[in-house]
Copies of this chain bind each other. A is one copy, B any other.
Amino acid sequence: MRWQKIEVASSKSYPICLGASLEELGQYLEQRVETNAHIIVISNPVVSEYYAEKVMSGLTNFQADQIIVPAGEEEKSLQRLEWITGEALKLGADRKTLVLALGGGVIGDLAGFFASIFMRGIRLIQIPTTLLAQVDSSIGGKVAVNHPGGKNLIGAFYPPLAVWTDFSTLQTLPWKEVLDGLAETIKHALIADRELFEFIQSHQKQIIERDTATFKEMTSRSLMVKVRIVSEDEKEEGKRMLLNFGHSFGHALETELAYRGITHGQGVSIGMVAAANLAKARGIISSAEVDKLINLLESFGLPTSIDKDKDHQKLVTNMQADKKNRGGQKILILPKGLGQAVICKDCSDEEIVEAWMAITK
């Protein structure tokens, strides 16, 4: 096996195994998990059709079962969790069962949260198959389901045994989903890795063509930003908040649209530009740098503005409900040039409205 191993420091540290194939996971497990262990692969119908067989083919020395969950964000619910628990029990799951979460962010969150609370916690390996999951959601141990009152309101910090990342899964990903991951990748570049920003700028064509080597380089660098940040701040008490760049504005817009007609990547893209405009008004990023960000996002087809019909005051109110705010206080992340960011706790509602206005077309 030729693969790279990156250690994530946390309350329970774990490796991210990069660049090996899905088929090779079984070999990795044979050295770490007891023979004949019970394994449950959890995925959705699409991912299962593409990849479950590849994973299962490596698990011949284990008792491997599958649970297939319908696709979609709405499956991240307590109802679906109760159903998965029932299915797992039918398959004879006990405290020694190992869960493999095979899929994108939804599966990672749902199967990960299931593993965290089934019999008070069983073993988990994340196998992210989307760009978004590989660079972002599979790293850092956050798992959750949604509540009618908001997204990811019910969850846990649950570090997996390992994250198993096979870049080849990105080749089958719909472009819309590539964009979701690309928005987070550009976010990582902007808050912590200027060189990555420049790499993406100079490889636009290769990215659009999904050149394997370019994807591998970009994905590895991007996930390293997240690894560095969560290793320093597992429980989101300080530096980890930087990862929220673009998300306070983005979530407000997604909430406004009730998550319809806007992807997460689109929300983050617009949110980053809004936050960058606030930073520009404060003089910590130049006009030219904001333009570079806008140009880069637009070159991939990511949106950077909102329609005139949006109620700016309502968007500000939506930002109030963000669970990252503490004791009513609004916390925003602002870019400081390209490649750095700061936590801002004193942004006024007026500044925020101005930022929304600056991106209204």
Contact = CB atoms under 8 A, between A and B. Distances in A.
Interface string A125-155: 0000000000000000010100111100111
A169 to B, nearest CB: 27
A361 interface: no
Contacts of A153: 85, 89, 118-119
A295 B341 CA distance: 71
A155 B119 CA distance: 6
Nearest to A116: B156
Interface string A66-93: 0000000000001101100110010000
Contacts of A11: 11
Contacts of A79: 78
Contacts of A81: 78, 154
A96 B9 CA distance: 25
A156 B154 contact: no
B323 A157 contact: no
A94 B154 contact: no
A325 interface: yes
Nearest to A92: B328
Given A85-B149, A120-B144, A149-B85, A95 B323 contact: yes
Given A78-B81, A117-B117, A120-B157, A95 B147 contact: no
A303 interface: no
Contacts of A148: 82, 86
B323 A156 contact: no
A260 interface: no
A308 interface: no
A77 to B, nearest CB: 9
Among A120, A153, A324, A328: residue with most chain B CB under 10 A = A120
6 contacts: A11-B11, A96-B327, A117-B155, A119-B153, A120-B155, A120-B157
Interface of A: 11, 34, 38, 78-79, 81-82, 85-86, 89, 94-96, 116-121, 142, 144, 147-150, 153-157, 323-328
